[in-house]
Amino acid sequence: MDHNQLRDDIQNFRLDNCPLGNQGYNRVLLQLFGYVGQGRSALINSLKYVLSKGKYIMHAESGCAITLERKAYELTPTITVVDNRGLAHMNNFEMRTVYAQLGNFMPLNEKVEWRYGYEDFVYKLEDADLDPNYTDFIVPVFVHTVQCVLIENEKGKTRDIFRNCRNLTGVFPIVVLTSKTHGNYFEVEKKFRCLGAERIVAVENYFEDDQLQTLGRNTDFLMLLKSALDDVTFRMEYPRNPREERIERKKFLLKYAHDTDVAKREEKLKEKEQQTAKNNICNIQ
């Protein structure tokens, strides 16, 4: 498809024009997530740049500043992109906060804290009910740099993350590989395909000192947005109920938080029993 046509289609996409109307949704929310320092903020700046036809502006701080606050950036009248806090350790406590961000249960423009206590986490979910959001159609986007190879231990966890994301949002995460020209992206793409990724888009982000637009580079960013909108159109062909979907997301989060907590308690109990057994052996000797 012609580049200008593609950009116009993205700019003009409206949920009202879906086969069954908007069904109660009023915007498409691209939720960027992944590990720290993978190029999420740079991706937002590139998307804004490619769609604006104007000068390059650094909207989201990229580079030295680590994103700690959840922030939303409007791309078109229908599409908004959210810069979520990145994962540092990939443990279940961080993961449940990542899922809470993806499920739209964490407020925008506030620092995202990892909630290690079960009650603390559940109270935060309850707080979100003060001003519940039913109207965002969530599309998860996992951002990963080509320069960072997934190690064996991370592969299984990433597969689980993809599956949980799909269960939470109903959409399989789109994988965006950044730094396309700084590594072997075919190799990295193959690894993500093996983890079940359905759609993978590789891009080279634009920066203040690297802002010469080319057709191919721009088209990669537009293809990412088209891919997200294709997913939305596909799901909007079926009858949906945004309120019920939000309740289902909350149930998912409560169960995940509970299971994580139980597993942690069992682990602690086992450690304590092992220590007691060790002490008893020492006392006998």
Ligand X SMILES: Nc1nc2c(ncn2[C@@H]2O[C@H](COP(=O)(O)OP(=O)(O)OP(=O)(O)O)[C@@H](O)[C@H]2O)c(=O)[nH]1
Minimum Å gap between C-beta 162 and ligand X is 18
Say if residue 216 is exposed, middle or buried (CB neighbours under 10 Å; 0-12, 13-18, 19+). exposed
Strand order in the sheet with 200-202: 71-74, 79-83, 27-33, 136-145, 174-178, 200-202
Minimum Å gap between C-beta 269 and ligand X is 35
Distance CA 167, CA 169 (A): 6
Distance CA 240, CA 231 (A): 14
Nearer to Mg ion, 67 or 78 (CB): 67
Distance CA 11, CA 7 (A): 6
178: closest CA among 28, 10, 46, 64? 46
Of 64-72, 89-97, 129-137, 143-151, the window that binds Mg ion (rule: CB under 5 A) is: 64-72
CA torsion 40→42→45→51, rounded to 10°? Answer: -80
Residues forming the site for ligand X (CB under 6 A): 36-42, 62-63, 66-67, 86, 178-179, 182, 204-205
* Contacted by 63, from Mg ion, ligand X, none: CB < 5 to 8 Å by type: ligand X
Minimum Å gap between C-beta 159 and ligand X is 21
Minimum Å gap between C-beta 232 and ligand X is 24
* Contacted by 70, from ligand X, Mg ion, none: CB < 5 to 8 Å by type: none
Who contacts 204 (Cβ-Cβ below 8 Å, separation ≥6)? 178, 179, 180, 181, 182, 217, 220
Minimum Å gap between C-beta 285 and ligand X is 51
* Contacted by 38, from ligand X, Mg ion, none: CB < 5 to 8 Å by type: ligand X
Q: How many residues does the chain have?
A: 285
67 binds Mg ion (CB under 5 A): yes
* Contacted by 179, from Mg ion, ligand X, none: CB < 5 to 8 Å by type: ligand X
> If DSSP states are collapsed to H, E and C, what string results for 242-266?
HHHHHHHHHHHHHHHHHHHHHHHHH
Site pattern 21..60 for Mg ion (x: CB under 5 A): --------------------x-------------------
CB atoms within 10 A of CB 170: 18
Minimum Å gap between C-beta 86 and ligand X is 3
* Contacted by 36, from Mg ion, ligand X, none: CB < 5 to 8 Å by type: ligand X
219 binds Mg ion (CB under 5 A): no
Residues within the interface to Mg ion (CB under 5 A) = 41, 67
